[in-house]
Structure 1
Amino acid sequence: MCPRTCVYGDDEAMYMCQGGDLVKRKNATWQTVAKLPAEVDKIAYVVTWKGRMLVIGSAGFGDPHMAYVLDMDNYDWIKLKTPQEFSGHVQSGCYMEI
């Protein structure tokens, strides 16, 4: 299990990307809440903010990285436009609100 695939949500639950699923742990129980898009099977970065989750990853090693945002109220994925020149390997990330 890789720590970069785990994140706390605004609802104080822990979320983890595992085996093609997004799972949520609240109290002592894990439950699947959404399927991950196939284009982000290999997770590089996950962050939550204001009821949303950003997931960046690739379909496989060496493939371009894609970004998706999940609305955590209804668990709908929205694909973000990723220009080819910005689709390389993701080393790290951050969230900054101005």
Structure 2
Amino acid sequence: MDTDGDPVPEPRGIPAAAPASLAEVVTVRHGPLVDHELVLSTGATASDLTSAMIMVPPQAALVSFHGDVDLSLVFRERPGCYGDSPEDLAGPAV
């Protein structure tokens, strides 16, 4: 209350920006194939990984991985691939 007895609103702070996730998924379409690259940065937690994996369709198969400072997992899907084997999802050998 102020000196006149009127209620005083509580001070409001500036809302903090949501922290950036250390795991993200980038989707790339090329022809009938769709790649989902999951990138994990150093310091990523299991929670970051779980939140990012939700963006990868369950029928996508792991076809490649790369690591240096960050870890990159590439999952590939193809429309109508529910009956395909993981070898078929990798696409033609180059």
Determine if the TM-score, normalized by the shorter chain, exceeds 0.5: no
Task: Point out the structure with the larger helix share.
Answer: 2
Q: TM-score, normalised by structure 2?
A: 0.26
Higher relative contact order (CA 8 A, sep 6+): 2
Task: Point out the structure with the larger strand share.
Answer: 1
Q: Which has the larger radius of gyration?
A: 2
Q: TM-score, normalised by structure 1?
A: 0.26
